A and B are shown apart, each in its own frame.
Chain A
Amino acid sequence: METTIIILLLVVIALAGAPLFAMIGAIGLLLFNAAGTDTAAMIAELYRLVDLPALIAIPLFTFAGYLLAESQAPKRLINLAQSLFGWMPGGLAIVALFSTAIFTAFSGASGVTIIALGGLIYPALIKQNYPDKFSLGLMTTSGSLGLLFPPSLPIILYSIIAGVNIDKLFLAGLLPGILLLLILSLYSVRTGMKANVARTRFVWNGVWASLREAAWEAPLPVIVIGGIYGGIFTATEAAAVTAFYVLIVEVFVRREIKFFGDLPGVIRESMILVGAILVMLGAAMGVTSYVIDAQIPMKLFEFISQYVSSKFVFLIILNIFILVMNMVEIFSAIIIVVPLIVPVAMQYGVDPVHLGIIFLLNLEIGYMTPPLGLNLFLSSLRFGKPLTEVYRTVLPFFLLLFGVLLLVTYFPQLSLWLVGPLG
C-alpha cells in the first residue's frame, strides 16, 4: 500500500515537470533507505563513473559537434552533397538525407538538426517543386537520421551503460545505418520522378570546387571511422583527435569561431547537454547497482519467459516497449531501460551489440512517432505547420523506418557482420 502511494506520488511529480535526474535520485534514495544501506553507497556508485574509460568521449565529441554546427560547415556539407547527388532524380531529397545524417551523427542527436539544417533545406525542396507533404515528412524524419553512425552520442551512452565495447558498436551501426539511408533514398528518387522535379547537371568542376571548399571537414568521418576500423586509435582517442582537429580548423584555420568571442559560448552550450546527461547517469548508477543486486533482471526474465519463449517474439515485444519509452525522452530511456533489458535479452541469446543497434534504431523511430516524438514538435515549430499535419506527413517515412527495424531485428548479421573480423 505504502509503496503504491510512493510510486503514484513520484509519477505525479515527474508529470509536473520535475527534472528526471532528481526523480532517479529520489528513487535511489528511497531504495537505499528501504534496504537499510547508507545513502553514501549511492555516491560510491556515482563515483565509479571515473573508472569508465569511454566517459571522456561524451564531452569531447559533443564539443566537436557543437563547434561544427556553429561554423559554416553545415552549409559546405550541403553544397558538397548537392554537387554529388543533385543530378539524380530526387537528388535534393537525397542531399537532405545524407547531410542531415552526418550532421546528426556529429551533433549528438539532440534535435538541433531540424533547427540548424531545416531552414536551409526545406525551402529549397519546396522551391524545386517537391510535394509539400513529402518535404515536411522528410525534414521531420531527418532530425534523427544518423543516430546509428559514429560518433553519435546515444551510441556512446549505450556502450557505456551496457558495458559493450564502443569500437564494436560504432562498426555495428554502419550497415543498418546505410541500409536505412538507401531505402529512404529510393523513396526520394521515386517521389522526385513522380513530381517531375528539375535536375541539375552533374559537373566535375562543381564537385571539385565544393570538395575543395569543404577540404578541411570532409576527411572527418574518414578519420573517425577509418581510424577506429583500421585500429589506429580507439573511439576515446578518436574523440580527442576530433575535438582538437575541429577546434584548430574552425578557430584558427577558417576563423569562423572567434577564440574569445564565441568559443566559451560553444563550450558552455555543449557542456550543458553533457552536464544534464552526466547527472542523470550519476544518479542512475546507484539505482542500477540496486537493481542488479536485487537480481531484478533475472526475475524479469523468469516472468517474461513464462509467456514468451521465442527470441524473436521477445524482440518484437521489446521493440514496441522501447518505442513507447523513447517517445517520452530519449537519453533517459537509455539510462533507465538499458541496464534492465540487456541481461534479460542475453538470457534469450541476443547479442548485446545487436541489441544496441535495435535499441538505437528504436530511438531514431521514437523521435518521430506520433503523438509525442520530439521531432514532430520541433518540425511543427520550425516550419510553422500544425502538429496534426506533421503527423500525417511522417507516416510513410515511419513505415519505411519500421520496415528497416524489422529487418535489423530479424537479421543480426546486418549488425554483427562488420564486427566479426575485428573480433
Chain B
Amino acid sequence: MKILRTFDRALTSIVMALLVTAFAIMLGLAVVQVFLRGVFHTGLLWGDVAARHLVIWVGFFGAYLATRENKHFHIDILTRFLSQRLRLWFAAFSDLFAAVICSLLMRASLTYLTIGMDAESTLFLGIPQRTVAMIVPIGFGLIMVQFLLRMVECIIQAVRGPALEGEKA
C-alpha cells in the first residue's frame, strides 16, 4: 500500500512540475504575441499554434489533478444521501468505470496518432506533430492510472470503515 502512495506522490509531483512549466510558457507566448502585435504589428508565426497546443497539455495535466482531488464534474444527487461506507463503494465503482473509458480513449488516441497523422509533418520549429499530440494518449493514460489509484484507496477505506467506526464507539 505504501508503495502505491509513494508512486502516487511522485507521479503527482512530476505532473505538477510539467503543469506549471507548460502554463508559464503558454502565458509567456500569449503575452509576447500581444506585445509584438500591438507594438511592432508583427508576431511569431508559430506562437499562436504553440500556445493553443499548450492549452491541451495544461488541460490534461489539470484533468489529472482534478481526478486526484475528485474535482471532475459529476452528479451527486444520489450519493449525497448515502452512508459514508456505501459512498466509498459507489466511488470505487465509478472510478473503475472512468478508468475503463480512459483506457479505451487512450487506445483510440494511439490509433489516431499512428494512422491519422502523417509521421513526417511538423508543426513549428521542426517539432513533429506526433510529438506534440502525444499528450492525448499520455493524458488519458495518466488520468486512467489516477482513477485506478483512487479506486484502490476507496476499496481499502470501505473495507476498513467498520473498524474505524468501532474504535470511535
Smallest beta-carbon distance B146→chain A, Å = 11
Query: How many inter-chain contacts with C-beta < 8 Å in the A-B complex?
Result: 196
CA distance A231 to B69 in the complex (A): 40
The residues of A that contact B143 with a CB separation of less than 8 Å are 279
Cβ of B19 under 8 Å from chain A: yes
Take A59-B58, A241-B34, A275-B60 as given contacts and tell me if A44 and B73 are in contact as well, using a CB distance cutoff of 8 Å.
Answer: no
Take A20-B74, A268-B16, A332-B73 as given contacts and tell me if A275 and B97 are in contact as well, using a CB distance cutoff of 8 Å.
Answer: no
The residues of B that contact A372 with a CB separation of less than 8 Å are 77
State which of A48-56, A112-120, A145-153 sits at the interface with chain B.
A48-56
The residues of A that contact B102 with a CB separation of less than 8 Å are 22, 25
CA distance A329 to B12 in the complex (A): 28
Could you say which of B16, B58, B90, B107 contacts A16, with CB atoms under 8 Å apart?
B90
Contact B52 A53, beta carbon cutoff 8 Å: yes
The residues of B that contact A13 with a CB separation of less than 8 Å are 94, 97
Contact A276 B62, beta carbon cutoff 8 Å: yes
Interface size class of A (residues with CB under 8 A): 35 or more
One digit per residue, 1 when the CB lies within 8 angstroms of any chain A CB and 0 when it does not, for chain B 31-55 equals: 1011001100000000011011101
CA distance A256 to B50 in the complex (A): 31
Could you say which of A39, A47, A283 contacts B133, with CB atoms under 8 Å apart?
A47
Contact B101 A22, beta carbon cutoff 8 Å: yes
Contact A243 B94, beta carbon cutoff 8 Å: no
CA distance A279 to B71 in the complex (A): 12
Cβ of A181 under 8 Å from chain B: no
State which of A99-107, A232-240, A411-419 sits at the interface with chain B.
A232-240
CA distance A280 to B98 in the complex (A): 12
CA distance A63 to B51 in the complex (A): 15
Tell me the nearest residue of chain A to B27, going by C-beta. Answer: A243
Take A43-B109, A267-B19 as given contacts and tell me if A20 and B136 are in contact as well, using a CB distance cutoff of 8 Å.
Answer: no
Contact A279 B59, beta carbon cutoff 8 Å: yes
Contact A20 B19, beta carbon cutoff 8 Å: no
Cβ of A42 under 8 Å from chain B: yes
Tell me the nearest residue of chain B to A283, going by C-beta. Answer: B105
Tell me the nearest residue of chain B to A62, going by C-beta. Answer: B62
CA distance A247 to B24 in the complex (A): 11
Cβ of A389 under 8 Å from chain B: no
Take A25-B105, A56-B52 as given contacts and tell me if A14 and B75 are in contact as well, using a CB distance cutoff of 8 Å.
Answer: yes
Cβ of B122 under 8 Å from chain A: no
Contact A38 B20, beta carbon cutoff 8 Å: no
Smallest beta-carbon distance A88→chain B, Å = 39
The residues of A that contact B51 with a CB separation of less than 8 Å are 56
- Find residues 102-145 in chain B having any chain A CB closer than 8 Å to their own CB: 102, 104-105, 107-109, 111-112, 115-116, 133, 136, 143
Contact B71 A273, beta carbon cutoff 8 Å: yes
Contact B72 A19, beta carbon cutoff 8 Å: yes
Contact A264 B20, beta carbon cutoff 8 Å: yes
Contact B62 A240, beta carbon cutoff 8 Å: no
Cβ of B76 under 8 Å from chain A: yes
Contact B79 A276, beta carbon cutoff 8 Å: no
- Find residues 253-273 in chain A having any chain B CB closer than 8 Å to their own CB: 264, 267-268, 271-273
**Can you give 20 A-B contacts (C-beta < 8 A)?**
A17-B74, A17-B94, A18-B74, A19-B73, A20-B75, A38-B111, A39-B108, A40-B111, A40-B115, A43-B111, A59-B23, A60-B27, A237-B33, A268-B65, A274-B62, A275-B60, A275-B61, A276-B63, A278-B56, A282-B59
Q: A19-B73, A267-B23, A279-B63 are in contact. List 10 more A-B contacts (CB 8 A).
A: A17-B90, A20-B73, A22-B72, A26-B101, A55-B55, A268-B65, A272-B71, A275-B59, A275-B64, A279-B59
